[in-house]
Amino acid sequence: MKQDYEKLNFAVGPVMSGEEVLEVASRNAPYFRTAEFSKTMLDCEKNLLTLADAPKNSRVVFLTGSGTAGMEAALLNTLSRNDKLLIVKGGSFGTRFCEIAEALGIPFEPIEIEMGKTLHKEDLDKFEDKGFTAFAVNLGETSTGVLYDIDLISDFCNRNNLFLIVDAVSTFLAEEISMEKSNIGALITGSQKALATMPGVALVFLSSDGIKRVENNKVASLYFDFKNYLLDGTRGQTPFTPAVSTLLQIAARVEKIIENGGVEYEIKKTADLANYFRTKIADYPFTLFAEVPSNAVTSLKVQGDNSAVTIFETLKNEYDIFICPNGGSLKETVFRVGHIGALETTDYDELFSALDDMKKRGIIK
């Protein structure tokens, strides 16, 4: 059996990294309170803003933490007890937004969506003109693989004058996202998804509206207080020792993406892999679980008495392949296969060979 880090990894984060990232990762983390590091970070921020099609005067906060730290810090900094937040709750990450709002004491109401389903206009109708001030959505609900309709959401927010917070942890660089066109106030992503660097950094993009909310807010945290990050960020620094190596990996990666032709190239690569996989997987006893699947990941519901957990465990232990299991009520019936990170079509061929073998052996029925 191969070591875990040698296995072919179709999980949805951490994902496999490209050569340009692993090279940076293999180096010592340098001392960083220097003009050189500052310049790298300022260039990196500029590149990221381009990739998110961010409007003028937007900024990026580099927060050392998990994606959830980014979600919490975004809510904490841009909202208060005087807001009334709508949250799309269609899976684990929608639930997480609710738990964060609850913990922070931000008044909110969930829009309950059946797992695997997307958000429809009818789901929003009853929330029109109801005094809400903000809207939070996981654009891709990573737990179910569902993509929500950003245009539908953006129109609703514009019409109701809502501040829009988008968790794009698994959709940034995998789906078309324009902060400008969709009037997104805060956009969250993480280092370990399509950015394909080591986990441990959350990125929060703020529009000028978002920045205004941060500046007018007083938060009960030093570590999460974006005011300090925005201030130090003007000179390419962070208030506290960041995950220096991961930041340098992100800088190298976004430079490479821009060299390769920008965000369109990345999105197309992921969409092509998703299509390649989805076309072939139709021959197996699994059905697409997501009503509208995101490019980043395919969630599959097993048919008959197949077990999602057994498929995950067998692929890991006997074929050195990681797919992504589900938790909770979907544990036995749903598994996911990612399309982000350093993956090629040949990697999927390897996965299909393994699945074929498992069919022959009767592990997949």
Residue 41 in the binding site for its own copies (CB under 8 A)? no
Q: Per CB under 8 A, does 110 bind its own copies?
A: no
Determine if 36 is a binding residue for its own copies (CB under 8 A).
yes
User: Are 65 and 200 in contact, with CB atoms under 8 Å apart?
Assistant: yes
Using the rule CB under 8 A, give the single segment among 49-57, 217-225, 250-258, 270-278 that binds its own copies.
217-225
- Subset of residues 79 to 98 that bind its own copies, contact rule: CB under 8 A: 96
Q: Minimum CB separation from its own copies for residue 4, in Å?
A: 4
Residue 13 within binding range of its own copies, rule CB under 8 A: yes
Query: Of 244 and 271, which has the nearer Cβ to its own copies?
Result: 244
Residues 166-205 touching its own copies, rule: CB under 8 A, are: 190, 192, 198-201
Could you give the angle at the alpha carbon of 240 between the alpha carbons of 239 and 242, nearest 5°?
Answer: 115
* Least distance from its own copies to the Cβ atom of residue 310, Å: 15
Compute how many other C-beta atoms are within 10 angstroms of the C-beta atom of residue 91.
26
Q: Which one among 94, 233, 242, 293 touches its own copies, defined by CB under 8 A?
A: 242
Residue placing its CB nearer to its own copies in the complex, 7 or 359: 7
CB 144 to its own copies: min, Å: 17
Structure tokens at 20: 């340009």
The phi and psi torsions of 300 (rounded to 5 degrees) equal: -125, 135
Residues 32 and 244: beta-carbon distance below 8 Å: yes
d(CA 92, CA 7): 26
Helix, strand, or coil here: 201? strand
Q: Rule CB under 8 A: say whether 261 interacts with its own copies.
A: no
Q: Quick check: 225 binds its own copies (CB under 8 A)?
A: yes
Tokens linked to 69: 């730290």
- The enclosing H or E element of 254 equals helix 244-260
Please give the C-alpha separations between residue 141 and each of 120, 211, 296, in angstroms, as whole numbers: 15, 26, 10
Scanning residues 269 to 328, which ones bind its own copies (CB under 8 A)? 316, 322, 324-325
Contacting residues for 295 by C-beta, under 8 A, at least 6 apart:
147, 171, 174, 175, 267, 270, 271, 274, 339
- The answer for residues whose C-beta is within 8 angstroms of residue 326's C-beta and 6 or more apart is 143, 299, 308, 333, 334, 335, 336
Q: Rounded to the nearest whole angstrom, what is the least distance from the CB of residue 358 to its own copies in the complex?
A: 19
Choose which of 41, 51, 54, 64 interacts with its own copies (CB under 8 A). Answer: 64
Site string for its own copies, 112-131 (x = CB under 8 A): --------------------
Candidates 45-53, 61-69, 301-309, 329-337: pick the segment binding its own copies (CB under 8 A). 61-69
Output the CA–CA distances (angstroms, integers) from residue 140 to 27, 37, 212, 237, 349, in the order listed: 33, 33, 27, 30, 26
Q: Which stretch binds its own copies (CB under 8 A): 23-31, 82-90, 279-287, 294-302?
A: 23-31
Phi and psi of 149, rounded to 5°? -90, 105
- Report the nearest approach of its own copies to the CB of residue 7 (Å): 7
Interface with its own copies (CB under 8 A): 3-7, 9, 11, 13-14, 16-17, 22, 25-34, 36-37, 64-69, 72, 96, 99-100, 103-105, 190, 192, 198-201, 219-223, 225, 239-246, 316, 322, 324-325
